[in-house]
Amino acid sequence: MKLLDTLYYKILLIRKFEELLFSLFEKGKLSGTTHTYIGQEATGVSLIENLGPNDIVISNHRCHGHYLSKTGDVVGLLSEILGKKNGVCKGRGGSQHLYSKGFYSNGVQGNMFPVSAGIALAEKWKNSSNLTVIFIGDGTLGEGIIYETLNMISLYKIPILIVVENNQYAQSTPIKDNFAGKIIDRLAGFSIRVEENETTDAEFLYHRYKKLIKSIKLLNEPRIDIIHNERLGPHSKGDDERSSEILNKIKEKDPITVLKKKIDLITQEKIEKEISILLSKALDKVNKMENSFNLY
């Protein structure tokens, strides 16, 4: 597949996967919670598209997009979220607590931050060329452990890529009520190189991350990358207080809308069809899974 087609495919897969989750919620077939990546997919997809199988991705509560980008494991994730014993974490972790080789997520804000530093430090000590990437949200910058860890990452020159996904909100609270100063100014205080961009353009991000990752691997040093964007969906489910006016504005920056302008219609339709078939087959398969648990 051509690059743009691949990016479109991966973003659309996440979007349709998560829309499917919402519809399952509505039908009462899904319990618990879920935090969708809707509107923000370009960041994770274009970054992870640049990673190799041995690179490591560490995520947070909003992890489905990162997980699918890293593993492509639709059935494993869907069955996990649907509470099946054949889920990728045997139904124990659910939406926010995912693991697969080279992928970890946890539902406690900031909890994985020092853990990712340890994982990256181990890679450094092993002289490997594997990159560790950690995603955190803007709201998570309220946790003190972030600053403890940034200090150590800088002191010990731990090669890690820290991606701050600033979607302007922490749950219900807009960033202006949560965050004093500017993110970039605050993070600049650790002698770690930091850059910021406001974009949902997957093509641009892909080429940017290609360069950035090359540079990190070459210099063996930490980097912080801030992406400003906005989530299109609710924080979790049905908990969005923003007006439709605001949401319509955000829709103009929908990464899917942005990409569609660059891909011909026939290809778009082909990809859409492919994903629709893939997801309905996956759902069928998951629905048929036998589901009795043994506690061990």
Partner 1 sequence: MRYLESLNLALDQIMSDNQNAVIIGEDIKDPYGGAFKVTKGLSSKYGHRVISSPISESSIVGLGIGLSLNGFKPIVEIMFGDFITLCADQIINGASKFPWMYGSNFDLPMIIRTPMGGRRGYGPTHSQTLESLFFNIPNIKIISPSIFHDPGQILKDTFYKMKELNLFIENKISYPNEIILKEQVDDYNISIINNNTEFVTLSLVFDRQTRPDIVLLTYGGMSNICFEVARDLFIEEEIIIEIIIPSLVKPVPFSDFHESIISCGKLVIVEEGISICGWGSMITSNLNDELFDSLKAKPVIVGSKEFPIASSRKLEDKILPQKSDIKKAILKIL
Ligand X SMILES: Cc1ncc(C[n+]2csc(CCOP(=O)(O)OP(=O)(O)O)c2C)c(N)n1
List 24, 152, 184, 263, residue binding partner 1 (CB under 8 A): 152
Residue of 61, 59, 40, 47 whose CA lies nearest to 230: 40
Q: 203 vs 240, which CB is nearer to Mg ion? A: 240
CA distances from 80 to 21, 34, 97, 98 (A): 12, 12, 10, 9
Beta bridge pairs of residue 227: 165, 197
The binder of ligand X chosen from 140, 199, 200, 229 (CB under 6 A): 140
Site for ligand X in 97-126 (CB under 6 A): 107-109
Tell me whether residue 224 is exposed, middle or buried, using C-beta atoms within 10 angstroms of its C-beta: 0 to 12, 13 to 18, 19 or more: buried
Dihedral (Cα; 137, 143, 149, 150), 10-degree rounding: 60
Q: Which parts of 135-194 interact with Mg ion (CB under 5 A)?
A: 137-139, 167, 169
Site membership for ligand X, residue 10 (CB under 6 A): no
Backbone angles phi, psi at 245, to 5 degrees: -60, -50
Q: Are 109 and 143 in contact (CB under 8 A)?
A: yes
- Does 123 sit near Mg ion (CB under 5 A)? no
Distance CA 193, CA 171 (A): 28
Q: Is 233 in the site for ligand X (CB under 6 A)?
A: no
Q: Which two tokens stand for residue 1?
A: 């597949």
Find the part of the chain contacting ligand X (CB under 6 A) among 24-32, 134-142, 147-155, 283-291: 134-142
Per-residue CA distances from 190 to 47, 117, 150, 217, 224 (Å): 23, 15, 7, 20, 10
Residue of 7, 42, 51, 170 that binds ligand X (CB under 6 A)? 170
Give the range of 46-54, 103-111, 180-188, 242-250 binding partner 1 by CB under 8 A: 103-111
288 binds, among ligand X, partner 1, Mg ion, none (CB under 5 to 8 A by kind): none
| Residue 130 contacts ligand X per CB under 6 A | no
Binding site for partner 1 (CB under 8 A): 87-93, 97-99, 104, 106, 108, 111-123, 125-126, 144-145, 148-149, 151-152, 155-156
Footprint of ligand X (CB under 6 A): 35, 61-62, 107-109, 137-140, 167, 169-171, 235
